[in-house]
Structure 1
Amino acid sequence: MKKSSDDRQVIAPFHSHAHDHGQCVVDAIAAAETCCAKDGLSFTPLRRQVLELIWSSHGPIGAYDLLEKLRASRRNAAPPTVYRALDFLMENGLIHRIESLNAYVGCGDPERHHGAQFLICRDCQCVAELDDDEIGKAVTRRAKALGFSIHQQTVEVVGQCADCAARL
Structure 2
Amino acid sequence: MIRILVILSVAFAFLAGCSKETQKIQMPEDMPEDFRFSVSFGYGEDHKNEINTYNDTVTKDLVTKGTATTALSFSSDELQLIYGKMKDIAILDEKQFPRKGNCSQTPSSTDSWKITVNGETKTLSWTNEYCDMTKDAKDLLELRSYIQKIVEGKDAYKALPAAEGGYD
Q: TM-score, length-normalised on structure 1?
A: 0.25
User: Quick check: which has more Rg, 1 or 2?
Assistant: 2
Give 1 or 2: higher strand fraction: 2
Give 1 or 2: higher helix fraction: 1
